[in-house]
Structures are given as C-alpha cells and as structure tokens.
Chains A and B, each alone.
Chain A
C-alpha cells in the first residue's frame, strides 16, 4: 500500500510537468502592417522586404537571394538618416540594387517623390533596366501612321482616351484579301461598351469581316501595346474559335510562405463563335508587346492556324490584380506609412503564367515563329517590313 501511494504521489507531482511538455508555441506573429506615421528608412526597407517576401510570385524561379538581401541591406538602411537628402538618395540606390535581378516583367517600385533627395528619381523597373543593356534594344516604333499606307480605303478607326492615356483602334483590309486589326491598348471590350468612344463600329467591322469569303488571312497587330484588360482575350481571340482554347496555366499564392503555391490552373479562352476561323491568323508582336498583348500573342501561337511574326515580346506575361483578390501581387503602404517611406507602391504580378509548352516566358519574352527585326531605315521611309512579311505569307 505504501509503495502504491509513493508511486501515485510521484505521478501526481510529475503529471503536470509532463503536460507542460505540450505546446506553448513560441509563435511569432506575422508582422502586422506598420501603421506608425513618419517611418524611418530602415522601417521603409523592412516593410518592403516583408511584403516582397509574402507577395512576390516568382521566388520559385527568381535567382535573387532574398534572405541575403535582408542580411546585406538591413544594416545599411539602419545607418541612414531620413532627414539627410544624400542618405535618402543612397537608400534609393540600395532599392535599385537589391531589385536589379528580379524577373517580373511588370515589376515597378514606385518612388515617393515627396521625400527630399528623390524628387526626380525614376520609378524602379528592373526588367526595363536590363533590357536597355541587351543587344537589339530599340525605342518604340509607332506604326500608327505607317500602316495607313497599306490599308485599303474605307478602313475604320477610333481614337479615345482611357485611364492609361490616349488609345486607338484601327481595322481595315489590305489588298481586299487580308483583314487587319491594330489596337494600342487591350481594352476594346470595355471601350466598345461606351458608345462615345467610337470603338464599337470598328470592332464590329472586324467581327463582320472574319468569315467573308474574300478574306484569306487575318493580321492582328499588338506591337507597342502595353496590354490592359484580360477581357479582350475572349473578346478578340474568342471571336475566331468555336471550341475552348487552352494556351497556358497560371499559379497563385496559397499562403504566406515564399514557396506556398496553388497547383497550376488551366488558362482557357472561351469560344465566341459558332464557326472557327480556318484561314491563317497572324499576330504582329515586338519588344513592346506587353502583358495582355503578350498573352494574345501566345494565344494566337497556340492556334493550329496561328503564327507569330516580328520579334520576341517584352516578357511581362503574368497577370495582375489587386492584392486582396489573390493574396499576392501588388502592395502599397497605408496613408500613415506613406509619410517617410521611400516607396509607396510596388506593382508586381498576382500570378505566374506559363505557356502550354510548360515554359515560363517571364522576363525572356515570347519568341516569334518568323523573326523579322525592326528596320529603322525602312521605317523612316514609311515601310513596315513586319507587316509586309505577314501579308506576303498570307498571299503566297
């Protein structure tokens, strides 16, 4: 009996100790948004680094060592004085250096120009900076006047203004056999819904001509097109197909960890026609075909009768949406944080896109089927060699 009580007594003493081996998790809360006003440059960096850690989509393939960035730059920012414009400029150069290798073609770090020291500092766009150094880099060629030389009389055109600036759409025939559509922004569906823009009759002409017997080929020109609304993928490409077109995949964030992703989700353009267009569909693309314009290029490339002519696109193939929608992508500071922060917003993709060939063309750009480099001499003489190639391909 004595032994039993001794053993039971030991257990009554030690059982609580055993239970204490259960969790009291040493859990560090996710850093809450810093809502203190007038943050320091170090806090500006910390906020930027944390948000990039959680919201940037490309950590799976980007070679930038983000942990090393923290180790290297945190002490540097801690030594900076926000009241000293020279220090603020130094902080700007640190932001530029730490993001120099990022591969997101949309990536833009928007500078707070109210801070003395960076009033004239350009927003930071790493992909653009790298492309400027690559052979073959050229300024934008605006074929807006050049293609008028090739179009038959009676082409339709609309000039209108959007939140992204002036835009235009042009549709007509070339030599009666080729249907040509050119637009400077991918927002045709939304613009067509507003009668005041004049876009509706232009795109309606395009839709009406698609199945005309005289038309032997279609050219869609998205050169120097910065993209816009993904609605235009169904609106334009969908008008030429009668079955869903699978042209790639997207992947979203599934948690706050750098490598937390959803599975790949099929990207599909919905058919909008009872009869598919069977004649050749050419898309003209160049270095400045970006975002939805690139997706449109890739979608045409996925068509059995599609072909891409021109040069490799920009490499901003992944879509964007507000951060709250997909728990990733663009982020910005609150109004309180704005005061004193070197940046106020980061524009970055909300999902990763990969083409149906399972390759990711972010940063590298989507290559053409037929390479036709821009010819500045011909351009100055009013000739569009890429358009001529597309027309000759259709006519042969």
Chain B
C-alpha cells in the first residue's frame, strides 16, 4: 500500500517537467546507526540498543534541472542491533550484525547558491539480507564461576556463572528470517561543486522499514522493525550533460 502511494506521488510531480538533464555518479561511504524497534515490556533489565555500522555505495543521480533530480545509490551496508542486560546482569548481551545490499531510489530537491548545494531526499528502498554475524556474552548456566570470598556477596550474574563469549557467523533461518526489507527514507545534505567538475557531498539520511525483520511465523509475534540513521559523504562526477531548448516543443 505504501509502495503504491509512493510511486503515484512520485510520478505526479515528475510528469511533464522539462529540464536540462545531468547524469552523475560517484562513490560514497559513511556510518550507520541502526535500532531494532520493538517492545520488551515483559522483560526486566533488558533493552535493545542501537549499534553503529558502516556503508559503502555508488550514487547515481539524474538531474532533470537545477532543482530536481532522482537518485539511486546501491549500497552495501550494516544494520546492527544489540540486546543488552543491565543491573545485576550487566555485561550480558547478544548482538546481531547484518549485511544488506540496499537499493534506495529517491527524489532529490536542490537549492543551489553558486557552488554550494543543499538538497533534500525522499523516497523508498529495497534491501536484501546477505549475511550476518552474532556476537555476545552469555552466562553459561551450567558452568560455575570461581567461588567468591566468604565475606562477599555476588553483585553480578557473571560472578555466579562463567561468561561465555562468542562471535560467529549467523546461519539464515528460513523459518523465521526475512531476506527482503522494504522501507521509506528521507535525507538532508549539502554539496560543494569543485572547479574540476567533481561534486563533494555529505548527507544525513533516515530509513525506516515498512516490513518486519522476521517473517510472520507465529501468532502474536512481537513486532520488530529496523530504523537506521545514516551519515555519508562522497564524491560525484558528471558523466553526461544534456540541455534541451525550452522552445523546441
């Protein structure tokens, strides 16, 4: 439903716009900060935390005119999140590092002042889960920790049970894991046109998943969505320019 709405709106304002067109592409890199948006109100001393990751991409921009364009920047990126215990369980955590191939497609609205450009992005994306790793520390329920001195009381579970640390590849579970993620995005950025023709830019972008990161495999399944903040910087260069005479038609 959201995808159709997005496409209809996009086509509406793209239709019938004459332009002097410019095609550019480049390279970008940056960091991600992803949060798994879900509810844990049935668990004590437990919370999901946002985790940083990285991204690398190839932005391809088609500029219709000086203020409007469309951009797609295929990305390889991380969407990570962590489940952390607190209080008496401090030190216990389980983290998922997920690698996605992502294709955002967005409208670009620009304001140009000499060499400075400010831009807004709004659009959607499709992402494909490629791989994942899990890492964490858990109390090994059957492995007792070294006994404390007689006059000491434990103030952490890892003083009672040995800590077990792991960092390993995650195996995709077709029963519950979802490969394809769809979502919407909005971004705000600035760019600087160099005399050489290269265009440097920096952007802050927010992405929000429309579908959950797991398939619906159980009744009353806890809802969980990825929400990602991205900060990226890069460089574009023009590979084609076309000016159309406004009076030609």
Residues of A whose CB lies within 8 Å of any CB of B are 3-4, 7-8, 10-11, 13-15, 17-23, 25-33, 50, 53-54, 66-67, 70-71, 230-231, 233-234, 248, 250, 252, 254-259, 262-263, 265-268, 270, 295, 319, 321, 324-327, 350-351, 353
Contacts and interface: CB of A to CB of B under 8 A. Distances in A.
B83 A257 contact: no
Nearest to A319: B141
Nearest to A33: B42
11 contacts: A7-B68, A17-B9, A21-B9, A25-B37, A31-B42, A53-B220, A71-B219, A230-B144, A255-B222, A295-B142, A319-B141
A4 B46 CA distance: 53
Contact of B219 (A67, A254, A265, A326): A67
Given A10-B12, A15-B109, A255-B83, A231 B217 contact: no
Given A27-B39, A50-B220, A256-B222, A21 B6 contact: yes
Interface string B21-46: 00000000000000001111111111
B235 interface: no
Given A11-B107, A14-B9, A257-B222, A263 B140 contact: no
B94 interface: yes
Contacts of B94: 254-255, 262
A19 B42 contact: no
A351 B164 CA distance: 14
Given A15-B109, A230-B142, A258 B42 contact: no
Interface in B110-162: 120, 122-124, 134, 136, 138-144, 157
Contact of A256 (B40, B89, B173, B209): B40
A155 to B, nearest CB: 29
Contacts, number: 169
Contacts of A8: 67-68
Given A256-B40, A263-B134, A267-B143, A30 B222 contact: yes
B208 interface: yes
A15 B38 contact: no
A4 B138 CA distance: 60
Interface of B: 2, 5-6, 9-10, 12-13, 17-18, 37-46, 65, 67-68, 83, 89, 94, 107, 109, 120, 122-124, 134, 136, 138-144, 157, 164, 166, 168, 173, 175-176, 183-186, 206, 208-210, 214, 217-223, 225, 227, 246
Contact of A15 (B120, B175, B206): B120
A259 B94 CA distance: 15
A250 B162 CA distance: 13
A328 to B, nearest CB: 10
Q: Which of B6, B67, B219 has its CB near the most chain A CB atoms (within 10 A)?
A: B219
Contact of B13 (A7, A21, A295): A7
Contact of B38 (A27, A258, A326, A353): A27
A233 B120 CA distance: 63
A14 B164 contact: no
Contact of A22 (B38, B107, B184): B184
Contacts of B141: 230, 250, 252, 265, 319, 321, 326, 350-351
A18 B9 contact: yes
A25 B223 contact: yes
A70 B41 CA distance: 22
A338 B13 CA distance: 60
A256 B107 CA distance: 38
A66 B221 CA distance: 12
Contacts of A19: 122, 184, 186
Contacts of A230: 141-142, 144
A70 B224 CA distance: 22
A254 B81 CA distance: 12
Nearest to A231: B144
A70 to B, nearest CB: 5
Given A256-B43, A257-B176, 7 more contacts: A21-B5, A21-B124, A25-B37, A231-B144, A256-B38, A259-B217, A268-B140
A19 B176 CA distance: 30
Contact of B185 (A22, A53, A233): A22
Contacts of A350: 141
B220 A270 contact: no
Contacts of B9: 14, 17-18, 21
Contacts of A248: 142
A256 B217 CA distance: 13
